[in-house]
């Protein structure tokens, strides 16, 4: 099924990069849009025009703009080289369009809201593999999203090694 909006929750940690790799290698197909969903705690400490997007989030940011440090700074993003390489390979090898969207607020709730607002047909989130006790005390974004999102959700564990995208087409 082509033409889907596939969301991937990213905070640029190794866990979220694993989820991004998995989504690019196993889920994304030609014609799909791979949309990075980045949730920040508060817009109040952001520079620039972030306050304009506090309720609905930023507009969709194309990969070309996301790759430009001057533009990504406007949105308060700082994607690392590894993330940009994963996205560039996904766009080139899988034929997907790549975008990012920045939201402000509670990550679990904002990811769940993004399913409706973007809209997303699939959501991929990383899981740090917290113990049961830590999950109870700290809560779990992935558990909340699985239980509340109105679309299929894939949770990629940090220790899952997804197949790599190759540089040969």
Query: Mind listing the pLDDT tens digit for each residue in 115-167?
Result: 999 999 999 999 865 545 444 444 588 889 999 999 999 999 866 554 454 43
Residue 103 lies in domain: 5-157
Q: Mark 55-82 as b/e (b = at least 16 C-beta within 10 Å).
A: eebbebbebebbbeeeebebbbbebeee
| CATH number of the CATH domain containing 148 | 3.40.50.620
pLDDT tens-digit profile of 64-106? 999 999 888 888 888 999 999 999 999 999 999 999 999 988 9
Mean pLDDT of 20-34: 95
pLDDT at 137: 40
Has residue 169 been placed in a domain? Answer: no
Has residue 89 been placed in a domain? Answer: yes
Has residue 45 been placed in a domain? Answer: yes
Has residue 146 been placed in a domain? Answer: yes
Has residue 168 been placed in a domain? Answer: no
Has residue 78 been placed in a domain? Answer: yes
Q: What is the helix, strand, coil percentage profile of the chain, to 5?
A: 40, 20, 40
What does the DSSP 8-state code read for residue 100?
E
| C-alpha angle 115-126-64 in degrees, rounded to nearest 5 | 70
Has residue 123 been placed in a domain? Answer: yes
Domain count, the chain: 1
Has residue 88 been placed in a domain? Answer: yes
């Amino acid at each position: 099924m082509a033409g889907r909006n596939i969301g991937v929750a990213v905070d640029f940690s190794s866990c979220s990069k694993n989820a991004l790799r998995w989504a690019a290698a196993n889920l994304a197909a030609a014609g799909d849009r791979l949309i990075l969903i980045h949730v920040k705690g508060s817009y109040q400490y952001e520079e620039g025009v972030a306050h304009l997007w506090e309720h609905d989030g930023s507009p969709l940011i194309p990969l070309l703009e996301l790759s430009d440090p001057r533009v990504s700074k406007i949105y308060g993003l700082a994607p690392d080289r590894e993330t940009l390489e994963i996205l560039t390979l996904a766009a080139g090898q899988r034929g997907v369009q790549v975008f990012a969207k920045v939201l402000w607020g509670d990550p679990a709730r904002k990811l769940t809201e993004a399913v409706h607002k973007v809209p997303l047909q699939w959501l991929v989130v990383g899981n740090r593999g917290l113990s049961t006790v830590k999950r109870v005390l700290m809560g779990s974004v992935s558990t909340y999203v699985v239980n509340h999102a109105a679309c299929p959700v894939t949770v990629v564990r940090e220790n899952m090694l997804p197949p790599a995208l190759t540089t040969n087409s």
